[in-house]
Amino acid sequence: MITDKRTTKVIRNPVLPGFNPDPCIVRAENKYYIAVSSFEWLPGVRVYESANLAEWEHCTDILTDQVRLQGNPKNCSIWAPQLSYHDGLFYLMYTDVKSTKRPFKDCHNYLITASSIHGPWSEPIYLNSSGFDPSLFHDDDGRKWLLNALWDYRITEGNKSSGIVIQEYDPKQQRLIGAPRKLFDCTPLKKTEAPHIYKRNGYYYLITAEGGTGSGHAVTVARSKELLGPYEVDPLNPMLTSSGKPEAELQCAGHGSLVETPEGEWYMAHLCTRPLEGQYAILGRETALQRVYWDEEGWLRLTAGGNTPLTEVPLPQGAALQGATRTDFADDFQGPQLHPRWNTLRILPEKGWCSLSERAGCLRIHGGESAQSLFNHHIVAIRQTDKSFRAETALDYEPEMYLQMAGLMLYLNEDNYWYAFISHEAGRGRVLRLLRCVRDEFTLEPVIIDLKEGLVRLAVDVSGVSGQFYYRAAEQAEWQPVGQPQNISFLSGGFTGNFIGIAAHDMNQFKGSYADFHYFRYVGRDE
């Protein structure tokens, strides 16, 4: 889909559609940057850039071979990166979550730095594991401070995020010094996380997320004349929320961060969702921007009034729109490297299993472990960015038994996916089949389509919560349905969003077979 913004004079939300949660926005070197969470998908931190706050393009990916995600459960791994820029240096904070099994949370916080947003980045510096959502504050006296949400396993009911802690960081020693101090307790909204501190007009402003990342999500603002507090909560708290507003197009609004334009205007980047049928966030948690200002009492407010997120906000002064924003994607696999829009699951797209050189003009994927593997799932996928879309691919694949499969997949996580795949059945030969997993309940659908030799095209057409797979063999002029349309609302939930992927699996012999994919197309549409 192409959205033309040139004549609108506004920023249209979400500015980063599809799975792009936990945004941290910063201005540096005459550019705006937003870093977002990736969870179990690699590369680990995706960074977008913009010159006008309205039109965003992929800029770079930061975490690649610095992290080891194999075996991490769903909804774990890379959480809530915080990007800051100070004295010519970029700082990236992130959490690598290894387990969220109650009552504990195994999460490790790291810092890396670079003089350019494109790197090279330093080796990770381990900081602590007391909670998640680390944030680095650069005070004007030269000192630096780490903030993070504090997890307390002793809390018996509800969420165990007990507030925000702060501890000094010494960049020369590259370690935390002094003792951590509790900076802020939860408001009645509870579940306090995602801290950021901004200093303005003699106040330290602490911005946090509260209420959980679901329908009760919110932005809480507090302030203090002293860095270490005590902090006074905004009397009109929450500053931003969709809670109790089912009519709002943007739901789950929270997890905010601030940026100031060169002209002195302020904007907040925040997380949001656009649930289908009012409840299914298949696209995952997305990123939106709101125009904000400081009122006469020095509190942060939406320029539109109230605290409800809007789908349209004013452009900054003097900003000019450049052109159309594209969500469509096409790849003919002609380049020497995989297109940066692709993502892989817990492992990097190394040549040992994912190659653009073994067969010219094709992406060869060697069969990995099953679609439920936490270690070697060989899938290459893109985010769903539109409520309705069509994706298609073509592959050569000659499996020899039922344990070998390759095809086109809709994938939320190892418990929720839908897969049209080519395999082999004894006595029938090469066949096309469907399988799905819905909330960890596996179903091999009864449809079996015999295939002759040659190229097979696969497609999936999604309209809201309805999806239909299609195929077209070499001898066919028209696309044919594979099975029946399905309700895909199960591809919603957790911390990520739906991905559309091409994949190969071999449960007989690891990397014992391979599939050659000739192209991939994704076209979104308005409905």
Instruction: Return the structure tokens found at 116.
Output: 């350019």
Residues 223, 204: Cα–Cα separation, whole Å? 5
Number of neighbouring beta carbons within 10 Å of residue 33: 22
What b-and-e string marks burial along 155-181, b requiring 16 or more CB atoms within 10 Å of the CB? eeeebbbbbbbbbbbebeeeebeeebe
CA dihedral 29, 32, 37, 42 (to 10 degrees): -60
- Judged by DSSP in three states, 261 sits in coil
Give the span between the Cα atoms of 228 and 141, in whole angstroms: 14
Query: How many alpha carbons fall within 13 Å on the CB side of residue 190?
Result: 10
Half-sphere exposure of 261 (CA within 13 A, CB side): 20
Is 22 a residue of the active site?
Answer: yes
Closest alpha carbon to 435 in 423, 425, 426, 427 = 423
Task: Classify each residue of 247-269 as buried b or exposed e, where b means 16 or more C-beta atoms within 10 Å of its C-beta.
Answer: ebbbbbbbbbbbbebeeebbbbb
Beta-bridge partner residues of 365: 354, 515
In whole angstroms, what is the distance from residue 387 CA to residue 461 CA? 11
How big is the CA angle at 344 (ends 342 and 347), to the nearest 5 degrees? 145
Q: How many CB atoms lie within 10 A of CB 441?
A: 10
Beta-ladder partners of 507? none
β-pair partners for 259 = 267
- In whole angstroms, what is the distance from residue 121 CA to residue 61 CA? 11
Which residues does 204 contact at the CB level (< 8 Å), separation at least 6?
197, 198, 223, 224, 225, 226, 227, 231
Query: Catalytic one among 55, 193, 331, 414?
Result: 193
- Residue 208: name the closest of 162, 277, 159, 266 by CA: 162
193 part of the active site: yes
Rounded Cα–Cα distance for residues 336 and 355 (Å): 9
Q: What's the rounded Cα separation, in Å, for the pair 450 and 442?
A: 23
Q: Return the active site residues.
A: 22, 193
